Structure 1
Amino acid sequence: MKIENLSDLHVLVQTARCGSLSGAASVLGMTPAAASATLKRLETQLGTRLFERSTRALRITAQGQILLDYAQRAFDLLDEGESQVSEARTALVGTIRVAAPSDLTRTTLLPWLDEFLALHPGVQLALNVGDRPLDVVRDEVDVAIRYGTLTDSRLVARVLAQSRPILCAAPSYLARHPAPQTPQDLTHHNCLLFERSSRLHKTWRFGQNGKWKEVRVKGDRSADDASLARMWAIAGAGIIFKSLIDVRQELEDGSLVALLTDWETEAYPLHALLPSGRFIPNRVRALVEFLAGKFAKL
């Protein structure tokens, strides 16, 4: 027996993404009982179990994973077809799901995103802000803005900017502590730490005359939100090692002072990451181009 209602596949997809029927039901605006009945109907029609159920967990079966992969591709193709049918329309419409680092969002992206939405009133923004990167493919993110090199073969990357981390501190901190003259001096300073790619960034790297050295730093506070580390630095709590993009305003107004400027730091590219196997709507492409143009002017 074939699948009678293609919309039932939405329950399969959302259950796999949410890890529970109740989560899928919440996303789809239906009751958990209705979601459970839909899933049972699919399994009956196909003659196979799509999920293994227990009192604590819901795990997709091998057969369920096969159907899930095809269902996701089918929905992507439908999105592509709808876009091509309506491509004569010049206005962009629909939701763009964006994931971005916390500090970059607050210092740089927010006014640009506001400007993009003002230019395209048919577009809605769903913004996920945090320094623990989402899985772009699994979490259905349209575009993720991330620092660092690309390591996931399922993604394609567009370089938005080439930045470097810069060492800096507030004048109030430097009034109490002599400024470091070498990277090794940082071991005697209070260094403000934050997570990067879900790991605490406490090994700082500097180069001079072609030679590089790493310094293991420590401090009295750390955060999983890099914007908090920047705020601590501005308040005079310690030294921060942060992307120049994120602290450029503070360096310009003097609330932070650059340190060890005769030492190099490694390039830290900023990418827009997109899932390679998924159709990219025009609204998403337009946003990436818009942001690339903004970063080019920095």
Structure 2
Amino acid sequence: MKIENLADLRVLVHTARNGTLTAAAGALGITPAAASAGLKRLEAQLGARLFERSTRAMRLTPQGQTLLDYAVRAFELLEEAESQVSADRGALVGTVRVAAPSDLTRVTLLAWFDEFLDLHPGLQLSLSVGDRPLDVTRDEVDVALRYGVLSDSRLVARRLADSRPVLCASPNYLRRHPAPRTPQELVHHNCLTFHRSGRRQRVWRFARDGQWTEVRVDGDRVADDASLAREWALAGRGITLKSALDVRGDEASGALVRLLPDWDTEPYPLHALLPSGRFVPARVRALVDFLAMKFTPMSGSLGSPE
């Protein structure tokens, strides 16, 4: 075996994740000189250049990318083996690293995560919250919860809930602004938008009797965190188009009112995403199974026209 030191492989993984040797050294708790030496030693043992170096960042070579993919899987297998060996009578142990949308986390998932951790006291949760999709094949994430139609073939997706966006506003806003009767009337309203996958969602689509119509909306507020659009709507600042999962409690309490209920919107399913080909630890499978069980009673009705 040419690779003699697992610590050198960890330098490779953290350099790829953080972009520089200095950042990798910080993550590993070693000096930059030690990180550099470890990477050079690894390249010498393999007889291959693993990174293209520049003054600003380090970019993986094709050989480096290949080694990284196998190294990540190797560390995951070792971690799972250590967990199973040290586990008490098969109890789940270790850390589950989850990325999830902001509103869904605050409105629904936090209580469920508490319940899951109570069921498995040997587990820890590392939670990354936000609407910027993390790359589960590269970032330190075991499972990512993501809305929308998926196209990345590198991922294994398990559908957790069928949902659609719903148009809503607060009673306070509707007292000052008559509710729209058609999608076209949204151009006369303050529409609260947010970024999804790096793009502002300004074109809203609606359907009736199988005929789709698009409306380009605008407003005085836009955010890169979808939870802010919901907060602004609750404060009476305008109309927003949000996943039915995110606003179901607000609708039930009357804090938000659904608009254009006889118009349909595009499917907006929620998936649990795992990297294709990666070993899935038992603790991660357990969490995904738990979430699927919790979402099942909701699926099929969220966002459906009344």
Give the TM-score band, short-chain normalised. Answer: over 0.9
Q: How does 1:7-86 map to 2 (within 5 A)?
A: 7-79=7-79, 81-82=81-82
The count of corresponding residues between Structure 1 and Structure 2 is 298
Secondary structure of the equivalent of 1:193?
strand
Match of 1:220 in 2: 220
Match of 1:289 in 2: 289
* 2:235 partner amino acid: A
* 2:291 partner amino acid: L
* Aligned-partner Cα distance in 2 for 1:120–1:81: 18
Q: How does 1:215-254 map to 2 (within 5 A)?
A: 215-254=215-254
1:253-291 C-alpha deviation (Å, 9 max, x unpaired): 111111111111122110011111110011101111111
1:42 is displaced (CA, Å) by 1.8
Match of 2:90 in 1: 90
Q: Which runs of 5+ in 2 are unaligned?
A: 299-306
Question: Is this contact kept in 1: 2:11–2:35, CA < 8 A?
Answer: yes
* Aligned-partner Cα distance in 2 for 1:110–1:2: 45
Gap change, CA 1:137 and 1:172, over 3 Å in 2: same
Is it true that 1:165 corresponds to 2:165 in the alignment?
yes
Is it true that 1:138 corresponds to 2:134 in the alignment?
no
* Aligned-partner Cα distance in 1 for 2:59–2:160: 38
Match of 2:271 in 1: 271
* Aligned-partner Cα distance in 1 for 2:243–2:116: 24
* Aligned-partner Cα distance in 2 for 1:65–1:156: 20
1:115 is displaced (CA, Å) by 1.1
Match of 2:207 in 1: 207
Secondary structure of the equivalent of 2:173?
helix
Identical residues among aligned pairs (%): 72
1:211-267 C-alpha deviation (Å, 9 max, x unpaired): 111111111111011111101001100001111110111111111111111111122
1:79 is displaced (CA, Å) by 4.1
* Aligned-partner Cα distance in 1 for 2:214–2:122: 49
* 1:68 partner amino acid: L
Question: Is this contact kept in 2: 1:80–1:279, CA < 8 A?
Answer: no
1:8-64 C-alpha deviation (Å, 9 max, x unpaired): 211111111211111111222212121112112222333333223232222223333
Match of 1:176 in 2: 176
Q: Which runs of 5+ in 1 are unaligned?
A: none
* Aligned-partner Cα distance in 1 for 2:70–2:251: 51
Root mean square deviation, CA, Å:
1.8
**What TM-score, normalized to structure 2?**
0.92
Question: Is this contact kept in 2: 1:79–1:279, CA < 8 A?
Answer: no
Match of 1:125 in 2: 125
1:166-189 C-alpha deviation (Å, 9 max, x unpaired): 111111111111110011010110
Secondary structure of the equivalent of 1:138?
coil
* Aligned-partner Cα distance in 2 for 1:143–1:114: 17
**What TM-score, normalized to structure 1?**
0.94
Question: Is this contact kept in 1: 2:169–2:259, CA < 8 A?
Answer: yes
